[in-house]
Amino acid sequence: MQRRREEDESSEGWVVELKRVAVLGAGLAGLAAARQLAKSGEDVTVYEARSRAGGRVWSDSVGVDGREYVVERGAEFILDGYSSMRRLLVEAGLELVDTGMSYYVREPGDYPAVTTDDIVALGRVAVAVADRLGGAPSAEEVISRLRGQRDVIEALRARIEISTAVSAHAVTATSLESIAAFEPKPSWRVAGGNQQLPDIMAERLGDTIRFGSSVLHVENLEGGGVRVADGAGSETFDAVVVALPLAVVKDPATITLPSNSAREEALRGVVQGHAVKLHVPLVAVPHSSAVMSVRDRYWTWTALDATGAVAPVLNGFMGSKEAIDRAGVLNSPKRWAEQVRRLRPELEIAAEAEILTTIWSEDPLSRGAYSAHAPGEGLSRFPANVLEQPIKNVFWAGEYADAEFTGLMEGAIRSGERAAERVHAQLKNQSNPAPARSSA
């Protein structure tokens, strides 16, 4: 097995063999793992199928009156509790900007008789019902037990489905306390675009990243090490971190990976959501806002940017495959822009200039948006982070694998860093095995 060799100046010329570790994917999980491994002294190679870093983090811009405004075509909001991401942003010299609105609170624009307070109050009742039921009931199972105005109940159902990007019957009710929570907490974005963080992390990793390289096969070898094969050939590493999206990991037609019954059972406890995003320029500068369409399962927002003013751009997010199919967005993108105009008549939307992002479900490198927990026993009876448990020298990382921040950028980063720590510890133990005990 070829290894990079370095001379350790502190050991009088001793040659130290660095362990070779491959990381599959240069999204936030893969970059976090690679960064940590490199800091620990491992010889890291990152395989990335795209031509850029960031994965489902993707910043772009919309032109309005000769000026460009940053929009997030992928992961957008930085939420309360993102301590790991904040640490990386500080290290990268990046700053956050308060959006001036709350990701968690959305006015139901097409149900004028329903207020945000109505939804919050019913959401708290739903959390109490879920607690009484115990286990991991579906969100729909909990909603079906609620009593009250039908419009408020439907608004709550829409709020859950939009945020989880999964239908209420296919997602666990724990989403009520996490990604579809209702407290009016602030939300942030990276000033100048979230894409800057993965770009800086990738730049610091240098030529260890092989862009345009799709891995097809990963195999633990009998004599130790892991073989990784892509379209250009194969190499052997001491360990591998698989940091690919959930739907890709689940698809053996795309990549063959080692597995076992415990991992397969745990994988059934997470589902990949589906979403599309929309960005349209505005003629006039609006106030910050967050308005959702209950009927069509999407929400729209206007937010502050790095200048401290509200950007003249209306953003939209439609969640769940069922909603996307009903809206016909993939076949007729302009239909959604027309719906948005009717939902937000107070805004003067510029004509024929929208940016629609449908890639996350159509792109073979992602196969969907972010993940959520499935109902039933799901992950509830497994220990925390069971999806990260290694199979020999193959380790796992990703937003889907983090038990607390499932589906979020923070979860991807934490999972990647934990994978790196496990790899380093295991390789160290393999290099320095404990002495055998005496049988006397």
Task: Tell me the three state secondary structure of residue 94.
Answer: coil
Task: Tell me the three state secondary structure of residue 422.
Answer: helix
Q: Which helix (H) or strand (E) holds 62?
A: strand 59-64
Return the residue matching tokens 């350790």.
8
Q: What is the mean pLDDT of residues 206-213?
A: 97
Residue type, 126: A
| Backbone dihedral region for residue 372 (phi beyond 0: left; psi -120 to 50: alpha; all else: beta) | beta
pLDDT band of residue 2 (cuts 50, 70, 90) is very low
Range of lowest pLDDT (32-36, 119-123, 418-422): 119-123
Strands 20-24 and 43-48, sheet pairing: parallel
Residue 425, number of CB atoms within 10 A of its CB: 11
What is residue 5's predicted lDDT score, i.e. its pLDDT? 47
Return the residue matching tokens 């009717």.
342
Give pLDDT tens digits for 404-422.
Answer: 899 999 999 999 999 999 9
Helix 116-133 to helix 150-164 angle, to the nearest 10 degrees? 80
The closest of 419, 418, 399 to 178, measured between CA atoms, is 399
The closest of 240, 243, 208, 199 to 366, measured between CA atoms, is 243
Dihedral sign computed on CA atoms, order 141, 143, 148, 154: negative
Q: How far apart are CA 256 and CA 24, in angstroms?
A: 13
Residue type, 390: P
pLDDT of 297 > 60? The answer is yes
Q: What is the mean pLDDT of residues 16-21?
A: 79
Q: Rounded mean pLDDT of the chain?
A: 90
Task: Tell me the three state secondary structure of residue 118.
Answer: helix
What is residue 439's predicted lDDT score, i.e. its pLDDT? 43
What is residue 176's predicted lDDT score, i.e. its pLDDT? 76
Contact 358, 321 (CB under 8 A): no
Give pLDDT tens digits for 344-393.
Answer: 999 999 876 778 888 788 899 999 999 999 998 655 556 667 899 999 99
pLDDT band of residue 16 (cuts 50, 70, 90) is very low
pLDDT of 275 > 90? The answer is yes
HSE, CB side, 13 Å, CA atoms: give it for residue 248: 27
Give pLDDT tens digits for 170-208.
Answer: 999 887 776 556 678 899 999 999 999 999 999 999 999
For residue 398 the two structure tokens come to 């990703």
Q: What is the DSSP string of 23-38?
A: EE--BHHHHHHHHHHH
pLDDT of 434 > 70? The answer is no
pLDDT of 4 > 80? The answer is no
Give pLDDT tens digits for 149-158.
Answer: 999 999 999 9
Q: How far apart are CA 282 and CA 344, in angstroms?
A: 11
For residue 127 the two structure tokens come to 């959390």
pLDDT of 435 > 70? The answer is no
What is residue 11's predicted lDDT score, i.e. its pLDDT? 44
